[in-house]
Amino acid sequence: MDETLTRINEGVQLHHQQGRREELLWDQRALAAADLLTDDRVAQAGVPMSVAALYPSLHLNLGECYRRLGDLDRARECLRQARAGIGALGDDAYGQLIRGGLDRLAQQLS
């Protein structure tokens, strides 16, 4: 698997296994790692989506972490960024999962 995608996956796997500060660091690293990806690298790794389709989930994870840490302004900014990229998601189970998560985060922040 591609090294950058491996780092993103590790961040996702550790997302719920670490303390909140460590989780925040992993989420930030996963988002930064995504900035290094190209659609070709993602396709070569066998991931059936574009790099752009990764961002709503990455921003959702980061926003949820900020919410739990009590930084609601940053959580709202992550929600805004996730929604800005939602058009890259397909109308499939993954897209529905991320949209549902964004809806829940929005409710929790209102």
Predicted confidence (pLDDT) per residue in 44-81, tens digit: 888 888 999 999 999 999 999 999 999 999 999 999 99
CATH of the domain at 31: 1.25.40
Domain count, the chain: 1
Instruction: Return all residues near 85 (Cβ < 8 A) that are at least 6 apart.
Output: 52, 55, 56, 59
Whether residue 2 is predicted with pLDDT greater than 70 in this model: the reply is: no
State residue 81's pLDDT score: 97
Lowest mean pLDDT among 17-21, 97-101, 104-108: 17-21
Residue-number span of the structural domain to which 96 is assigned? 3-109
pLDDT mean across residues, the chain? 88
